[in-house]
Amino acid sequence: MLALFSLLLFCYCNCMCVKAKVAEMIRIALSQTMAIMVKNLIMVSFGMSIGFRTVLIGGVLHDDEFQGVGESELSWLGSISMLTLLVGCIGSGFVTQPIGRKRSMQFVTIPYVSCWVGYYFSTKIWHLYIVLMVMGFFSGLVEGPFNTYVSEVTQPHLRGVLSISGSMSVMLGSFLQFLIGTFFKWRICALISCAFPLVTFFLFFLVPESPYWLISNNKLVEAKKSLAWLRGWTKVENIELEIGSIIRHYAEERDQQTRKQSSFKEYFTPFLKKSFIYPLLLVSFAFMISSFTGASTLQTYAIAIFGTMKLPINSYYATVCLGSVQLLGSLISIFLIRFLGKRRLFFIAISCMCICNMIIAIYAHFSGALQINLTKDSGVSTNLDVSDYKWVPLTFLILLSFMNNGGVHALPWILMSEVYSYKTRSVGCGLSSAVSSLLSFVANNLFLRVTSFISIPGMYTLHCAVCIVGFLVLYFYLPETEGKSLETIADHFAQKIKLDNKVQKKPLKKGIDNTLFEYNESNANVSHTVSKL
């Protein structure tokens, strides 16, 4: 009897320990998720600004105040914000570093609200150009903090999922804008959109600043409180190991800096090394593939493309379907990336996109849909006898967008927050975002012009070729970073080690799950390091 009681007591204690551990893990994940979700509200607003370009182009074509708008004006409406976003991205790391990650994202909500109001009062085409440029610039200015904040507050086993949630938030914003645009005129859409950045401004008061930024600015007490908040609202004593390794590394870097004379050349030396150039080229190539495989221009010119392809439903309803599958693709990728990894998910998605582009090109050729139709019609045409095949372009255009958001579009954004070293991450994220903006500008600005020259079948055949090139190049040069620590990834690009192509599914040792630098027992004298600060 005593033995049975002892066994039951042992089982009960084990169950309680397991429950306590599970509760702690949930609490730690929840705190990081909450911080990222507030940041993602900015991404929702950014996604709404992207989706609004589609609504705006369709609205301008039907608005009597904008008579005489043609191919050139529509090309600039669809792309000019990318040009100023590029300018903002270039200075992102340099301008926002002194301000802080959180504060930079919080302050950008103010010009966002102003721009949405500016849309409402625009009566000339140049008014719209100015508002698009201003919104694009401030969106670019916080591209660095967007991605840096994720990498600096999350643990490796959560980083991939929470990084891709940013992409999903952009898709959610686009979907919401498409949905609002289906029921309201474009000016009313702009006013409704004001609510999102306004709410976000106040929610940022509830989440902490990046502990890495706080340490780099000699705010040790605030850094400890921030990391304790991000590790499940725990006590400061419980994160001493992790905060100590961060402090130690920062102190070592600072000591190295003080031994040298600071100069312009020394500041830019890390950006001239292969450990920075290689990741920059890799991320830039991934952005190029994402921009020129058809999905990016489809979102911008969705109403015109849907109308030209003679879909069986109204073009505005089709944009809602487009926004839905974009959101669904991003949502599914959050769950798949943890199991398949970034490489495998990308290769599956890019292969499907290649097939979709080829089928769309073949359909456009045989249906006679050779040029983009910019007339103010309903989007449903019956000039050609394709009644039995109208589902083909609808299905494969939607599938093209779904696969893009399921594995291609998010890849460079996730890589951006992982592949750069701590010293180059803020500037690297800003420059990578600038490359993304430049490529998006080129793709959207030239789409109508190039399509009028090589036809719709030629354009989608070109998209198909880009998919093939992307598959081949990244097969040899893209490492698997899912679940790997930031230091391990940085060492790979510094050619100290070589990453394998397997997904690291097992969380790292408790206490240093998110350190950029592995804890070294031989250098565990944290108190000495702290005193140097």
The CATH number for 408's domain is: 1.20.1250.20
| Token duo for residue 528 | 């000495």
Q: Which domain holds residue 62?
A: 28-207
More confident residue, 241 or 484: 241
Give the count of domains, the chain.
2
User: Are residues 325 and 438 located together in one domain of the fold?
Assistant: yes
Q: How far apart are CA 495 and CA 389, in angstroms?
A: 53
Instruction: Report yes or no on 231 lying in a domain.
Output: no
- Mean pLDDT value of segment 395-419: 86
The pair of three-digit structure tokens given for residue 426, joined into one six-digit string: 């803020």
Which of 51-65, 450-464, 507-521 is least confident? 507-521
Q: Which tokens in the block code for residue 486? A: 């930031």
Task: Please determine, for residue 353, whether its predicted confidence score (pLDDT) is greater than 50.
Answer: yes
For 94, list phi and psi in degrees, rounded to 5.
-75, -40
In this predicted structure, what is the pLDDT of residue 355? 94
Do both 170 and 293 map to the same domain?
no
Question: Considering the chain, what is the average pLDDT of its residues?
Answer: 78
Tens of pLDDT, residue by residue over 355-382, are: 999 999 998 888 888 888 776 544 444 4
Q: Which residues contact 355 (CB under 8 A, 6 or more apart)?
A: none
Residues 455 and 337 in one domain: yes
**pLDDT for the residue numbered 349:** 92
Tell me what pLDDT residue 266 has. 63
CB-based contacts of 44: which residues, under 8 Å, 6+ apart? 169, 170, 172, 173, 176, 196
Is the model more confident about 153 or about 192? 192
Of residues 503 and 73, more confidence is placed in 73
Same domain, 152 and 57: yes
Say if residue 310 is in the same domain as residue 184.
no
**% of the chain beyond a pLDDT of 90:** 15
Residue 280 and residue 191 share a domain: no
Give yes or no for a contact between 424 and 415, defined as CB atoms under 8 angstroms apart.
no
Q: Cα–Cα distance between 335 and 345 in angstroms, integer?
A: 11
Q: Are residues 461 and 334 in the same domain?
A: yes
Domain boundary among 207, 228, 256: 207
Q: Say yes or no: 325 and 467 in one domain.
A: yes
For the ranges 26-40, 190-204, 205-219, 222-236, the maximum mean pLDDT occurs at: 190-204
What average pLDDT does the segment 280-284 reach? 90
Domain assignment present for residue 527? The answer is no
Nearest-angstrom CA–CA distance, 326 and 398: 8
Same domain, residue pair 337 and 447: yes
Asked which of 43-47, 257-261, 308-312, 412-416 is least confident by mean pLDDT, the reply is 257-261
pLDDT at 10 over 60: no
Q: Does 515 fall in a domain?
A: no
The secondary structure of 148-213 as a DSSP string is: HHHHHHS-HHHHHHHHHHHHHHHHHHHHHHHHHHHHS-HHHHHHHHTHHHHHHHHHGGGSPPPHHH
Alpha carbon distance 19, 15 (integer Å) = 6
Tokens 């893990």 sit on residue: 25
Confidence band (pLDDT; 50, 70, 90) for 263?
Answer: low
